[in-house]
Chain A
Amino acid sequence: MNPLLRLVTSVKFAIALIVLIIAVAIIGSFLPSGTFVYSSPFFFSLLGLLAVSIISCSFTKVVTTWQNVMAPEIGVSDAFVTQLPCNSTIKAIDLDEVKKQLRGYKFTELNTADLSYLFAQKGQISRFGAHFSHIGVLIVLLGAIIGGVCGYSKIAVVPTQQLVTVSGAEIKINSFEVSYYDNGMPRDYKAYVTINEGNVLHNDSIAVNQPLTYKGVSFFLDSFDSDGFYRDGQPGWVALKIRSDPGEPIVWIGAAVTVTGLVTSFYIPYKRIWIKKSCKSILLGGKTNKNRLKFSREFEQIVANLGGTFPTENIRTKN
């Protein structure tokens, strides 16, 4: 592999980038009004490099994952099996008996003149979870870029009880209501508005946590003229935050993909068991990517059900 590609696809490179991003994020959070840091070219380059790292890593590794899952190595050596974190030897029985013990596993078989191989795997989707998450993060970044390039966000000060045009919408704030709790804290802010669409009037409202969306543009309450002139108890103006973000749905899709990937990779263990049968005995070895202690107990049970014993030194800190 090209040395540059090897560097970019390496976990160390990704971790180095993440460390740098963390460092910049911390600096930005400690600087007064430090949010400019997050729109600096340096920070953007770091995010860009991270995206490159994720893309190249996904492209190279997803192929390997696919091959490993679809065409696993079956004809393995004895040494390979005995070096697996869980392994045991039992007396030779019919492999169908072994299959019965391995519920929910998908089998691949290979038979040679004097040896039979059986490979059992379960939870293959787990192997793709990390890839889903990586793609999800890329989609989020893409959505954020689209939002940054094509979207806008601005504050418009709208005089009350007048029809005005803001961002393509003819809007009139009919009234603005503030309600208070007994202790004087504000309870709710609500603006009742009318939108004029080709001389058809729609009545609607905008409240905190309930923005108004009209033709892809969202209207949020921002502030109001609290010390200004009041006519009939109405403030003179209400400031609206007007936002259009075509990238936003993409961000939510990316977020959903990321979470799906995480749940898949964290909660579905990928279990593999290699079985090698000779005329006298059967060699079994297995490993998993999650919850190794639980798997070793399962393995122990399977071996016990098949009439074998389990080596004592089965749990290692690493596989």
Chain B
Amino acid sequence: MMDLVNYEIFGFEIAIGAYLLCSLLFIFYFVTKRKGLDGIAFTLAAFGFAFQTCALGIRLLYAGHPPWINTYEIMSFFAWAIIGAYLVMNTRLNYKVFGVIVAPFAFILMGFASLQPKNPEPLAPALQSVWLLIHVPIMMLAYCGFVVSFAASILYLFKEKEILTINTSDDLKSSNVFPSAKTLKIFSGFTLAQLDDLSYKGVALAFPLLTIGIITGAIWADRAWGSYWSWDPKETWSLITWLIFLIYLHARTSDWGTKISAYISVFGFLSVIFTFLGVSYVLPFLENHVELSPSLHEYTGGDYTAGTVLFICVVSTILVLLILSRIRPPGPKMPKPSKYVLET
């Protein structure tokens, strides 16, 4: 037993290191556009994923339940799932550049996980349900879809900004053919249309899954608490996320432009993160439903360790600064890229 724990921690630590290196390489690649770096970073992600798969497998063996019960497990599992989704995406087409969003995201989750108590806990009575095996993976897959959509939307906003900058600075006469060699190099051939399409595909995968996830959660809550909906913060925030992506879908049926879509997707992702983390760590008002079956979503019962809080503060500050520094709305007279015919 003790050996297994050590192997698990070893696998986890290798994975965390691999994801960190991978993130740094991707960021370096993103800034310097040096060829070949993305390939190395991608290999590192796959390497970390292999180790983490073993770590999660070992944990499944000795804990005797799927590795998504306490905070450490669910964070690690989410990181694993998103890296897995990223690797699967790359088996079909070259989406390596997405690593610049996905890898740091996975690393942050892993860093968060590493600060949590790691000892496995047996299943509380309310968690002993078949819905544990259905609800959680569905939600994780939905979240992965939203992460993909977020990554595509962020890259869309980056690329759009660069196109606009180049377009205005060079004062191109014919603005029909605009992506310059520079942007093409960074984004390895993605057009704005493709990024927008991918952002939509992420939502198209995730939205029905989120709906099913909310419904299965409601069925479970109905069995465990005797109420399918009780405005528990997790329920409320999952509904908020659902509603934001509902706006995303309706905005697309009207011609509001792909840029609005990208912004809504980013907001939706922030809501996903808040649903996933903020509900347990930011809202300190979680009330237990009933004595025998407290909220299933308090993972380890809400650890307010100084390290965790500091970690969240630092990471969110860096993210906010990054977003603010990179994504500014274009000036009033900028042309709308969606009006142009893009290269194939």
A binding-site residues for B, Cβ under 8 Å: 11-12, 14-15, 18-19, 21-22, 25-26, 28-35, 38, 144, 153, 181, 183, 185-189, 207-211, 218, 220-224, 241, 243, 248, 251-252, 255, 258-259, 262-263, 266, 290-293, 312-318
Contact = CB atoms under 8 A, between A and B. Distances in A.
Contacts of A208: 125-126, 128, 224, 292-293
B237 A262 contact: no
Interface in B215-238: 215, 218-220, 222-231, 233, 236-237
B244 interface: yes
11 contacts: A22-B240, A185-B121, A208-B293, A209-B293, A210-B223, A222-B290, A259-B212, A262-B207, A292-B197, A315-B191, A315-B344
A30 B278 CA distance: 11
A191 B230 CA distance: 24
A248 B126 contact: no
Contact of A251 (B201, B228, B255, B285): B228
Interface in B268-310: 279, 283, 285, 287, 290-293
B341 A316 contact: yes
Given A211-B226, A316-B342, A12 B290 contact: no
Contacts of B226: 153, 211, 218, 220, 241, 243
Contact of A25 (B192, B212, B239): B239
Interface stretch (B11-19, B54-62, B246-254, B317-325): B246-254
Given A29-B283, A293-B194, A22 B211 contact: no
Given A32-B285, A290-B204, A315-B193, A241 B290 contact: yes
B39 interface: no
Given A29-B237, A223-B291, A290-B204, 16 more contacts: A15-B251, A18-B250, A28-B236, A38-B236, A153-B227, A185-B124, A189-B125, A209-B293, A218-B226, A221-B292, A222-B291, A241-B290, A251-B228, A315-B342, A317-B192, A318-B258
A315 B304 CA distance: 51
B207 A266 contact: yes
B207 A312 contact: no
Nearest to B236: A29
Contact of B128 (A209, A255, A262, A291): A209
